[in-house]
């Protein structure tokens, strides 16, 4: 391994035919370069997609009502219905696997008539009535003030948490909105906080920066909504799949509201945990495809190395015969051929590895320095595990490329080798 003469011999062999060495090494170089760039690009795509789930509770499910499609217990099909406060109490008491349960009201969206007034300024915003638990599912960044708390719910306070864009549009630049009043559909609410969404990618049709949150109970009372609930957000406790909780919630709500158990269209719902798993499975498949294509490309280069090593063995038949005649063991001959093969593949592969990482870092640097926000591509690069795997593949490829030539070399009989021209 550390025989100086052996390394000098390897160097002399590679140097003796520079063009052949370059063309042989290029196949391995190109294979590992493509593998690293494809793996880095796959990571960039994955980082961008999974960044969309960042800070949002992935063990959550969201449920709302839709028109029934089946008659049930004397009630006609096509019935419009809503959840109610007693449903929420029954869910909390009857399903111990629930982590957080956050009922929600959304009486007005921000796509209609102006529903918010402040002085001479009017605008249209999404208005939600929420419990504090909702902010544990979809957290916000407080810019000033506070979020809605339990006392707001209990005392039915007329307070509001507004988005950063709401502040910009309704208040003068530099003005502190905390403690000021805004009028929502004729009712005054005091601003107690300004927020910026932590996750801007997952929403329910609203612009999160242009949304106003009110206490759930205050919204029910102020606008005579009775005990209606428009929407439910629910999470599962640790070590419990949210799909289990979701199924139990749907079953209980259907039974309490006289909805046919098989009427799947009566509920709208989706499970963020399942979406997350599907994305994970998709990128696992993409990574497998990247490695299959990359290793296939690398294998083509390795075949080239193996073929060239066969030529090298043929050219050095007489030299091998002399080595055998003066006592060189078969393992020494095999070691020499394998060392040359591994050296050629490792050097060319390392150059491809370093260049591939450099290209990915350059792309990442350009994206960061330009301030470009790529929604579908972020932080392309390869981690340490991929680099170690690539090096392992290189060593294995070098051994594979040299194995057949090495076997041929030891089969050469010293007498026949000495006669070779």
Q: Which helix (H) or strand (E) holds 266?
A: none
Tell me the per-residue pLDDT of 341-365, one tens digit each, with 9 for 90 and over: 777 777 887 888 888 888 888 888 7
- Please give the pLDDT value at position 170: 94
Percent of the chain predicted with pLDDT > 70:
79
Q: Measured between alpha carbons, how far is 153 from 108 in angstroms, rounded to an integer? A: 20
DSSP letters, 55-108, are TS-SSEEEEEE----S-BTTBPTT----EEHHHHHHHHHH-TTEEEEEEEEEEE
Q: Is a pLDDT exceeding 60 seen at residue 414?
A: no
The mean pLDDT value for 78-103 works out to 93
Q: Is a pLDDT exceeding 60 seen at residue 340?
A: yes
Instruction: Report which of 254, 240, 251, 216 is spatially closest to residue 99, judged by C-alpha positions.
Output: 240
The residues pairing with 182 across neighbouring beta strands, listed in sequence order, are 189
Tell me the per-residue pLDDT of 216-244, one tens digit each, with 9 for 90 and over: 999 999 999 999 999 999 999 988 889 99
| Sequence-separated (6 or more) residues with CB below 8 Å from residue 364 | 379, 380, 381
| Sequence-separated (6 or more) residues with CB below 8 Å from residue 82 | 65, 228, 229, 230
- Please give the pLDDT value at position 27: 76
- Please give the pLDDT value at position 320: 62
Within 95-200, residue ranges assigned H as helices are 134-137, 150-155, 164-170
Q: Which helix (H) or strand (E) holds 184?
A: strand 181-184
**248 falls in which pLDDT band (50, 70, 90)?**
very high
**416 falls in which pLDDT band (50, 70, 90)?**
low
Is-above-0.75 flag for pTM?
no
CB 265 within 8 A of CB 10: no
Tell me the per-residue pLDDT of 266-283, one tens digit each, with 9 for 90 and over: 999 988 888 778 888 888
Tell me the per-residue pLDDT of 386-403, one tens digit each, with 9 for 90 and over: 777 777 777 777 777 677
More confident call, 297 vs 139: 139
**191 falls in which pLDDT band (50, 70, 90)?**
very high
Q: Is a pLDDT exceeding 80 seen at residue 171?
A: yes
Tell me the per-residue pLDDT of 16-50, one tens digit each, with 9 for 90 and over: 666 766 777 777 788 888 888 888 888 888 777 77
More confident call, 338 vs 320: 338
For the chain, the straight-line distance linking the first and the last C-alpha, in angstroms and rounded, comes to 30
CB 218 within 8 A of CB 156: yes
């Amino acid at each position: 391994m550390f025989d100086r003469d052996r390394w000098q011999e390897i160097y002399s062999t590679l140097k003796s035919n520079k063009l052949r060495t370059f063309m042989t090494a290029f196949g391995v170089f190109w294979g590992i370069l493509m593998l690293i760039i494809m793996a880095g690009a796959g990571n960039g795509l994955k980082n961008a997609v999974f960044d969309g789930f960042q800070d949002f509770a992935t063990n959550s499910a969201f449920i709302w009502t839709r028109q029934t499609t089946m008659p049930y217990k004397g009630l006609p099909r096509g019935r419009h219905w809503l959840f109610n406060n007693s449903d929420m109490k029954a869910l909390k008491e009857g399903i111990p696997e629930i982590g957080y349960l956050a009922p929600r009201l959304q009486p007005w969206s921000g796509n209609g008539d102006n529903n918010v007034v402040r002085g001479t300024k009017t605008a249209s915003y999404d208005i939600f009535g929420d419990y504090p638990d909702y902010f544990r599912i979809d957290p916000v960044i407080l810019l000033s003030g506070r979020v809605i708390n339990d006392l707001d719910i209990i005392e039915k306070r007329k307070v509001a948490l507004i988005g950063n864009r709401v502040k910009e549009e309704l208040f003068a630049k530099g003005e502190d909105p905390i403690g000021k009043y805004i009028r929502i559909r004729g009712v005054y609410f005091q601003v107690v906080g300004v927020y910026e969404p932590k996750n801007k990618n997952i929403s329910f049709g609203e612009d999160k920066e242009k949304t106003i949150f009110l206490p759930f109970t205050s919204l029910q009372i102020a606008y005579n909504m009775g005990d209606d609930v428009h929407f439910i957000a629910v999470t599962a406790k640790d070590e419990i799949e949210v799909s289990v909780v979701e199924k139990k919630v749907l079953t209980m709500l259907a039974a309490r509201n006289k909805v046919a158990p098989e009427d799947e269209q009566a509920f709208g719902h989706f499970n963020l945990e399942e979406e997350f798993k599907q994305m994970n499975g998709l990128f696992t498949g993409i990574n497998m495809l990247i490695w299959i294509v990359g290793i296939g490309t690398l294998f083509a280069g390795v075949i080239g190395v193996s073929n060239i090593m066969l030529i090298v063995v043929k050219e050095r038949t007489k030299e091998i015969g002399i080595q055998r005649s003066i006592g060189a063991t078969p393992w020494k001959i095999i070691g020499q051929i394998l060392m040359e093969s591994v050296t050629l593949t490792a050097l060319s592969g390392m150059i491809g590895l370093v260049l591939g990482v450099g290209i990915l870092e350059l792309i990442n640097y350009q994206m960061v320095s330009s301030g470009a926000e790529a929604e579908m591509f972020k932080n392309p690069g390869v981690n340490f595990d991929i680099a170690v795997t690539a090096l392992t593949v290189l060593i294995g490829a070098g051994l594979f490329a040299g194995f057949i030539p090495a076997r041929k070399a030891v089969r050469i009989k010293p007498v026949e080798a000495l006669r070779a021209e």
